[in-house]
A and B are shown apart, each in its own frame.
Chain A
Amino acid sequence: MTDRLPGFSTLAVHAGAQPDPTTGARATPIYQTTSFVFNDADHAASLFGLQAFGNIYTRIGNPTNAVLEERVAALEGGTAALAVASGHAAQLVVLQQLLRPGDEIIAARKLYGGSINQFTHAFKAFGWNVAWADPDEIESFERAVTPHTKAIFIESIANPAGSITDIEAIAAVARKAGVPLIVDNTLASPYLIKPIDHGADIVVHSLTKFLGGHGNSLGGIIVDAGTFDWSKDNKYPMLSEPRPEYHGIRIQETFGNFAFAIACRVLGLRDLGPALSPFNAFMILTGIETLPLRMQKHCDNAKAVAEFLSTHPAVSAVNYAGLPGDKYNALQRKYAPKGAGAVFTFSLKGGYDAGVNLVSNLKLFSHLANVGDTRSLVIHPASTTHSQLDDAAKVKSGAAPEVVRLSIGIEDKEDLIADLDQALRA
């Protein structure tokens, strides 16, 4: 029998999961336990010494979480993954493996507002410096490279305006600089874009969004593409040097092409602590089973809503890469041909006040700070997620005062359009 590659929907349902060995339970059980017994003293020592595969303590690994990890790794085409408590935790754990005080990361200026805050303030306090670059101008990434650069960070579909990033062009800059490319694939999900196919070395997600998909559970994940040589040039000592806490083991030498995921687990998660609850892992796994169905519906609805808004008299502009003529339409057709995602922005002729009014007049759209829910969501970034930025930074990150961001759900599109129409007229 020749091996064949199952399709995306088959992986979304099956990858990582198997009927429970003791009970035969078909759904993945929630292993709501802190710890796991050892067979004997030697088994315990083998597990602690990273010599054996197995479970010790849920801060380091949990069987429910492991199913989620393998499933997302399979969907992204990575060698391994590590689930953590949130998308922010994923970013923290990734960068802790790569940066020492005084090191730098180059980040796309168009990022989720929370990431901009995390990079600008929290990471700065660790001595990790960020250089901002413009994903619409690839040369700005090249110019930002210094001897201290340790990674490049971008979003595949960028918050808040749903712009599409030229991943391959930025991957080429990263390769030339000898640093890994980290792609936040939250808004695309692997159903729309698989960044590893375009040169990403590490993929991170907020599982809270489209992967979980139901707005009920926080989670984050790190996927190791297995593509980066961590031992070259000794730039990444966490992976290439003997680890004193593990009796001198070198992580890359021991774990090969999934060494980064292991480092994130046994150095990052173990010491920093942002473990994912097994219950949340179960909820997110259940969500992932329907990811292909939901994501297509999200995209189809979003396109219909964007088309409606683009002809509305109260609207001055719509930024949706799925619209012909949009600045990012060519990149969308290359990277995300199945759809342009479901998060986008539009601008109101009435400015800041019209944005505030629209949000309060909507009856079906929920006003909240999340995206990627079954429900349609709306937010006025200038008065909420991006309110901590100054006006110039707001405009640069796509959150000008007249801009409203939508996350289109999987309701009937006619109802979403009707709700927007009544709110824009009110």
Chain B
Amino acid sequence: MNHDAYDDNYIRSILNNVKSIAMVGASPVNVRPSFFAFKYLAQRGYDMIPVNPGHVGKALMGKPFVASLADIDRPIDMIDIFRNSSHIMPVVEEALKLSPLPKVIWMQLGARDDAAAEKAEAAGLKVVMNRCPKIEYGRLSSEISWMGVNSRTLSSKRAPIPTQGMRLSLNRTSFGGGQTAASDRAAKNKTETT
């Protein structure tokens, strides 16, 4: 897997197939990126589970916080890690002890741990690093185009009418793999120098 530039079909198949997402590092503070992403994904119909030992006893969008992945009472399809790169490995190690295993490990925008990715992939999991599922969902559904963002997709079909809580079509023709070439190179250079 080329973790510098993901093929859109790879991201699309993940977002189309997972149903439950545990968000490690979810925050109840409504200006944190994790809060935005949690709320957005919940509104798109995903079964969201907030994981954060500091907020047990509270709830996010009506979903109670759990302290750790082991405390979740149902199978999880995807683990979205909202932690710095240095905190990824222990989460992945914990995820690999779950039964059944999750299908996807997703590391948030800015987070990347190639060793942890390798470990998860060796166990048969799919891995996405340094991406935001909210942004990718918005991009592949063309919803994000309202913000002038280059979705890098084309479609000659009528766009779905966006309404609260509906899941937008993810069936668009993509061009090129993943991010734009220049931004990919910049991210790669940053990874190599840090």
Interface of A with B (CB < 8 Å)?
1-6, 10-11, 14-16, 18-22, 24, 39-40, 43, 46, 49-55, 61, 63, 65-67, 69-70, 73-74, 77-83, 196-197, 225-229, 242, 246-249, 253-258, 261-262, 265
A-B pair number, CB within 8 angstroms: 154
How far apart sit A375 and B53, CA to CA, in the bound complex (Å)? 67
In the complex, B183 has a CB within 8 A of chain A = yes
Q: How many B residues touch A, CB cutoff 8 Å?
A: 50
Interface hits, B1-37 → A, CB 8 Å: 7-9, 30-31, 33, 35-36
Other contacts beyond A52-B40, A74-B150: 16, CB < 8 A: A3-B176, A11-B175, A18-B155, A20-B158, A39-B163, A50-B36, A53-B147, A66-B146, A78-B180, A81-B150, A82-B148, A227-B185, A255-B135, A256-B110, A257-B187, A258-B150
CA–CA, A254 and B183, complex, Å: 16
Best-surrounded residue of A55, A70, A77 (most CB of chain B within 10 A): A70
Contact in complex: A19, B181 (CB < 8 Å): no
Closest to B149 in A: A80
| Minimum Cβ distance to chain A for residue B170 (Å) | 14
Binary flags per residue of B132-170, CB closer than 8 Å to A gives 1, else 0 = 100100100011111111111011111111111000000
A54 to B168 alpha-carbon distance, docked (Å): 14
A304 to chain B, nearest CB (A): 35
For residue B176, which residue of chain A has the nearest CB?
A: A5
Could you tell me the distance between the alpha carbons of A79 and B132 in the complex, rounded to whole angstroms? 14
B-side contacts of A79, CB under 8 Å = 149-150, 179-180, 183
Q: Say yes or no: A66 contacts B145, CB within 8 Å.
A: yes
By a CB distance below 8 angstroms, the chain A residues around B183 are: 79, 225-227, 257
Once A2-B7, A51-B39, A257-B179 are accepted as A-B contacts, the answer to whether A18 and B142 lie under 8 Å apart by CB is yes
B74 contacts chain A at the CB level, 8 A cutoff: no
B177 in the interface, Cβ–Cβ < 8 Å? yes
The smallest C-beta distance from B128 to any residue of chain A, in angstroms, reads 13
Q: Is the CB of B175 within 8 A of A4?
A: yes
Q: Taking beta carbons and an 8 Å cutoff, which residues of B are in contact with A?
A: 7-9, 30-31, 33, 35-36, 39-40, 109-110, 132, 135, 138, 142-152, 154-164, 174-177, 179-183, 185-187, 190
**Can you offer 18 A-B residue contacts whose CB atoms are under 8 A?**
A2-B9, A3-B9, A3-B174, A4-B176, A19-B159, A20-B158, A21-B160, A43-B164, A51-B35, A51-B36, A79-B150, A82-B148, A225-B186, A226-B180, A226-B186, A254-B33, A257-B186, A265-B147
Please give, as numbers and ranges, the residues of chain A lying within 8 Å of B143 by CB-CB distance.
53
CA distance A256 to B149 in the complex (A): 12
Say which residue of A53, A55, A248 sits within 8 Å of B31 (CB atoms).
Answer: A248
Residue of B at shortest CB range from A255? Answer: B135
A6 neighbours in B (Cβ, 8 Å):
154, 175
Q: A49-B31, A227-B182, A256-B109 are in contact. Are A18 and B157 (CB under 8 A)?
A: yes
Are A49 and B30 in contact, with the CB atoms below 8 A? yes
Task: Give chain B nearest CB distance to A356 CB in angstroms.
Answer: 44
Minimal beta-carbon separation of A297 from chain B (angstroms):
26
Nearest A residue to B155, CB-CB:
A18
Considering the chains assembled together, what is the distance between the CA atoms of A371 and B189 in angstroms?
A: 38
Q: How far is the CB of A219 from chain B (nearest CB, A)?
A: 13
Say whether A66 contacts B147, CB under 8 Å: yes
- State the CA gap A257–B33 with chains docked (Å): 14
Partner of A83, one of B148, B175, B186: B148
Task: Name the distance in Å between A198's Cβ and chain B's nearest Cβ.
Answer: 10
Q: Chain A residues with Cβ under 8 A from B40's Cβ?
A: 51-52
Q: How far is the CB of B103 from chain A (nearest CB, A)?
A: 22
Contacts of B7 in A (CB 8 A): 2-3
Most A C-beta atoms less than 10 A away, residue of B110, B145, B185: B145
Which of B7, B33, B180, B187 has the most chain A CB within a 10 Å cutoff?
A: B180
B175 near A80 with CB under 8 A, answer: no
